[in-house]
Structure 1
Amino acid sequence: MILILTCGFCSILVAQKQDSISFKNGIEKPNILSTHHFGIFSSRINTNFKIASQKNTTITFSSASGNNFHPFVETYLPKDPEVRKEQSKLIWYHRNFYFKDQETTPADYMNIVIDAVIKEFRLGINIPLNKKNELDVTLRSYLITKGTHPFSFFTSDENLEWFHSNVAGGEDPFGRRYYGLNQVNFKYTDRNGNTLELNNNDFFLSGIELNYFYYPTFTKSNSKNIYINFGSHLGINTSKYNHSLDFGLSANAIKKIELKNNYEFNAGVAINVLRKNLINFKDVIDLGNNPYLATIESHLEIAKFTKQKNYNALSVNYQIQSRYNQRKEADYYRLIGKWQEINGGWQHGFSTLYTALSYWTFIYTYGRPNLTLSLYFKEDFRVNNAADFQTGISLKVPVFK
């Protein structure tokens, strides 16, 4: 509805058609994928809202910082269909399933605790093949930190808890102060008994992504400034916890509206789906038993061009990603945590793996022919805490014509 109303409002303001600024290619959107503690080990698809293949080969460097926090929580998943049926009649926090041993009460068991500021570093090269085809290659890596000042000014525990205490959320709503600020506690045991554990200053190369985009020409659509592109995505995951291959497909559409006084409005919608762990090269951690990650996304951007042919743009992005674990398990799981010691949210380490994740991202971009700089912050209003709050910066420069 917001997208429709905004497009309608902008249509009223449309002036006579002006020449496009050649170096601005649709919506200049940085990589805004979350620093989710499962997502960092797998490929995920970053939506492409460009309207054509790049004219020049470009190199992009981006960095993100996200505060992830989930107190320790245990999960039991009864295997007996009758026990599952019985437990499904109770709301999750009243379930009384008690695990004794695998012979009398067979169950899968998992536990998780996540407390860290996760730093992401991406280096990418975009290679135009011709006017309608291009190839993007990206190397992604991560650093696990305590999030101390000044390296995590916006995403540190102190600043987030100051905001909760003085602006919104209340005093220590998730237990950060109770468990201690500026800690790294990153450990997950999957249902197969495999353990993933990371410590302060652990750095790892997570994977290489190959993205191919095709920009078809539809005369009728292009005459109305509506552009579509399709992508195929291959991810090679290289960490010791998930040495595997992912494959995905994406479809993206952009509507461009040229306005008075050198303004330009762009609206984008997208859908993509990724098949995780299509091939496992060795034994891997179970990072969610839902084999597919699907995403829908919308994006609104308003740009103002200067007399020097540079531009400033503000945009907002809304994204929903499908759950990591199969939804049916939430009907009968038993979650155990320190619910009496903290105010709330102790269950989120597992409960959010069974729900769709949604994020709002607010982006500022400055562009000129030889440089594009983007800054953004990302907020999770549904309290996924994965990440609770995230900031990022991206720099793109052309290197070959």
Structure 2
Amino acid sequence: MLKKILFVILCFCGLIATAQQKDSLSIKNGIDNPSILSTHHFGIFSSRLNTNFKYAPPQKTTFAFNYTSGNNFQPFVESYFPKDPAVREQLSQIKWYDRPFNFIDQETTPADYLNIVIDAVIKEFRATVNIPINKHHELGITLRSYLITKGKYPFSIFTSDEGIEWFHSNVAGGEDPFGRRYYGLNQVNFRYQDRNGNTLELNNNDFFIGGLEFNHYYYPKLSINETQNIYLNFGTHLGLNTSKFNASIDVGISANAIKKLALKNNYELNLAIGANLLRKNIINFKEVIDLGNNPYLGTLEGEIEITKYTKKGNFNAFGINYHVQSRYNKKAEAGYYKLLGKWREINGGWQNGVYTLYKPLSSWNFIYTYGTPKYLLSLFIKEDLEVNNAPDFQTGVSLKIPISK
């Protein structure tokens, strides 16, 4: 099934590229990034927001296809959340790893319970159409889908278990620092039971449509555009999540600023900063899995991009992007939860499946873009800073072409 879907998409892209040979993209429109959103095992079920660092709407309607691969690994861990305020207060005085376990008897010590284990290479396929409405407004429509895999060669060269553990053993990290070898390489073990008793489970080669997203951007005309080469844009966002685990609607807002600096010898420097806020599950169409009890996901992102224009009118651009997202669960619970896992058998990170839900998630992204009047080709790699393995390492490629005359 997947091969047929990919074949149709590739043929569609080829037909568009052939049929629109006379069309062209604006050679450079700020920092025109691919989707660099992580393959986080909760995030893939919600319509998270990509930051927009463009100066203005595209001159023509464009089509972009984005492929991403991320290695997610978090060993099985259980968590108990006591309901009694007195017990919570008592546990809050003790370090989380030293807290006693006494929640088996629900009559004497009532507590909510959840468990989670994540082991898969998650593939994301994202198709986006950006439509200029006028000189100041743009509409973007995105369809996103996901494939759960074992991550074997040759389809996951950089994000496979073997590649990552080879790096740990031979370059940095040490031998099996997080327990991948202990549990076995090239496995799919994707299961989560929320505190309401609902279960989310995915298996090898499971494919699903994550949702449809609508993004509107407004680019105001300001004097600083001409005098300071500073550009602003503001976004409103609507996401329709279509998976059986989270059939819902999300809404969001965003604001972004870009500073352009023209340098000598056909070089250009762009500096950008952006922020967005997503209200998850503002409408649920049925009972959904609890994918984090923090209803808001906020993101702060900054980037530096250096561009070199060629004599033929093309360009090469390299960007360094810092991205941080707010936590999935309410911070207060981290003060009293109790975690259970194989901490003796695993060198480190046995607690990550729950522990990192209470921490902001941050990453560095390194992005290369080659641009011509006919297309933009982008490659990126993502490395998390919190070592939360959600994902540990991620790569992506994107192709953007014009589809209107």
TM-score norm. by structure 2 comes to 0.93
Cα drift, residue 332 of structure 1: 0.3
- Write the mapping of 1:249-328 to structure 2, written as runs, cut at 5 A: 249-328=253-332
Partner of 1:138: 142
Aligned position for 1:181: 185
Opposite residue 205 of structure 1, the aligned amino acid is I
CA shift for structure 1 position 31: 0.4
Q: Corresponding residue for 1:84?
A: 88
Cα separation, 1, equivalents of 2:182 and 2:106? 34
Q: Who is 1:346 aligned against?
A: 350
Structure 1 match to 2:361: 357
Provide the C-alpha distance between the structure 2 equivalents of 1:368 and 1:186, rounded to a whole number of angstroms: 41
Structure 2 contact 178–346 (Cα < 8 Å) conserved: yes
CA–CA distance in 2 between the matches of 1:48 and 1:206? 21
Contact 1:318 1:361 in 2 (8 A): yes
Aligned twin of 1:10: none
- The CA deviation at 1:220 is 3.1
- The alignment partner of 2:70 has SS state of strand
Query: Per the alignment, in what secondary structure is the counterpart of residue 66 of structure 2?
Result: strand
2:163 alignment counterpart: 159
Deviations 1:278-323 (A, max 9, x none): 0001000000000000000001100000011000000010011000
Q: Give 3-state SS (helix, strand or coil) of 2:355's partner.
A: helix
| Residue 103 (structure 1) aligns with | 107
Q: Is it true that 1:30 corresponds to 2:22 in the alignment?
A: no
* Structure 1: gaps of 5 or more residues: 1-20
CA deviation map 1:327-371 (0-9, x unaligned): 000000000000011111100000000000001000100001110
CA distance in 2, matches of 1:30, 1:216: 23
Residue matched to 1:396: 400
1:31-80, CA deviations, whole angstroms, 9 ceiling, x for partnerless residues?
00000000000010000000001100000000000000000000000000
1: CA distance, partners of 2:226 / 2:39: 36
Q: Deviations over 1:201-236 (max 9, x none)?
A: 000000000000000011134421000000001000
2:126 to 122, 128, 136: 122
Distance in 1 between residues matched to 2:240 and 2:63, nearest whole Å: 20
Instruction: Determine helix, strand or coil for the equivalent of 1:32.
Output: coil
Match of 1:383 among 371, 387, 405: 387
- In the other structure, the counterpart of 1:197 is 201
**How far apart in 2 are the matches of 1:187 and 1:305?**
48
Report the identity percentage.
68
- In 2: Cα distance, 1:248 partner to 1:275 partner: 6
C-alpha contact (below 8 Å) 1:142/1:206 kept by paired residues:
yes
Deviation at 1:98, TM superposition (A): 1.1
In terms of mean alpha carbon deviation, does 101-110 or 246-255 score higher?
101-110
Give the letter for the 1:164 counterpart.
Answer: H
Letter in 1 for 2:370: Y
The correspondence of residues 1-80 of structure 1 with structure 2, limited to 5 A, is: 22-80=26-84
**CA displacement, residues 153-212 of structure 1 (integer Å, 9 cap, x when unaligned):** 000000100000111111000000000000000000000000000000000000000000
CA contact (8 A) 1:116 1:186 kept: yes
Secondary structure at the counterpart of residue 288 of structure 2: coil
Cα distance in 2 between the residues matched to 1:57 and 1:278: 30
* TM-score of the aligned structures, taking structure 1 as reference length: 0.94
Counterpart contact for 1:87–1:97, Cα < 8 Å:
no
C-alpha contact 2:29 2:54 (8 A) present in aligned 1: yes
Indicate the SS of the match to 1:324: coil
Deviation, structure 1 residue 381:
2.3
**Counterparts of 1:22 and 1:165, CA distance in 2:** 45
Unaligned 5+ segments in structure 2 are 1-24
Partner of 1:8: none
Any conservation in 1 of the 2:299–2:323 contact (CA below 8 Å)? yes
Return the offset for 1:28.
Answer: 1.5
- Number of matched residues? 381
2:246 counterpart residue number: 242
What is the rounded CA distance, in whole Å, between the counterparts of 1:157 and 1:109 in structure 2? 30
**What SS class does the counterpart of residue 178 from structure 1 fall into?**
helix
Q: Which SS does the other structure have where 1:400 is aligned?
A: coil
